[in-house]
Amino acid sequence: MTIHSRICVSIGRSSLDDALAAADSMASVADVLEIRLDCLTTPAVSPFMNALSTPLLFTNRPQWEGGNFNGDEEQRLAALLEAVREGAAYVDLELLAPDESHRQMVQALEKTESRLIISWHNFENTPTRQELVGRMAMMQDKGADIGKIITTAHSHQDVLRVLQLLEVAEELGFPLIAFCMGRPGVISRVATTDLGGYMTYCAVNSGEATAPGQLSVARLRDIYSLMNEQS
């Protein structure tokens, strides 16, 4: 049996031309391309939409959630709303974004094909199971089509706690992206989709990781290829 894993390659370059070139080079090996608008010196949506047929995910991550955007929230949201109007496959909005941002995004998504990923990242540790399940419930309440819970693992117990969320999500019928950052969490990035996770993320190459522990797409595909040989 061939294992299918939805792979999202994150594009985090500062130059628009460089980001477009990277996205184009990754289009054949990615199921989804994440365009990190917060990494671009001049954020833009339409050049990617016009140049690429691979499903696109637009993220404009603020500094308070580990990203690079440090401007006005209205300006930050405007880029994501533009992505919805342009017909992006996905947009990512943080769980802890202001209520008004969530209201505007849900309204904008009505009668569109775009899907909303509501995300939450913990760069320090992995909370209790109770808190993690609570975060997932909050995502559902805010209208997420897909949830994203990413924590930092310091042990294998942390990794197991996050991956066990996938069982809860399946029972709820809620698509969930869940894995861990950090060295102990690398295995979760590989395993998550086989355990029911909606998607995993990787980098263009080993030098362009946009999160701790992120593998390159070449390395991840090599691992999946080895796994398929054993199945």
Q: What is the DSSP string of 186-219?
A: HHHHHHGGGGT-S-EEEESSTT--SSTTPPBHHH
Compare 66 and 207 and report the one with higher pLDDT.
66
**CA 145 – CA 30 distance, rounded (Å):** 21
What percent of the chain is predicted at pLDDT more than 90? 86
What is the number of other CB atoms lying within 10 angstroms of the CB of residue 58?
25
pLDDT, tens only, 106-154: 999 999 999 999 999 999 999 999 999 999 999 999 999 999 999 999 9
Residue 148 among the catalytic residues: yes
- In CATH terms, is domain 7-229 a member of 3.40.50.720? no
Residues in the chain: 231
Dihedrals phi, psi of 41, to nearest 5 degrees: -60, -40
Residue 121 among the catalytic residues: yes
* Catalytic choice (111, 148, 154, 156): 148
What is the number of other CB atoms lying within 10 angstroms of the CB of residue 103?
12
* Catalytic choice (4, 102, 121, 142): 121
132 Cβ contact partners less than 8 Å away, ≥ 6 residues apart: 126, 149, 151, 161, 162, 165
Q: How far is CA 148 from CA 2, 61, 68, 119, in A?
A: 25, 13, 19, 4
pLDDT, tens only, 75-98: 999 999 999 999 999 999 999 999
pLDDT, tens only, 197-231: 999 999 999 888 777 778 999 899 888 888 877 65
Dihedrals phi, psi of 18, to nearest 5 degrees: -65, -40
SS3 state at 21: helix
Contact (Cβ atoms closer than 8 angstroms) between residue 10 and residue 220: no
Among the listed residues 219, 223, 175, the one whose alpha carbon sits nearest the alpha carbon of residue 197: 175
pTM summary value = 0.94
Residue type (1 letter), 139:
M
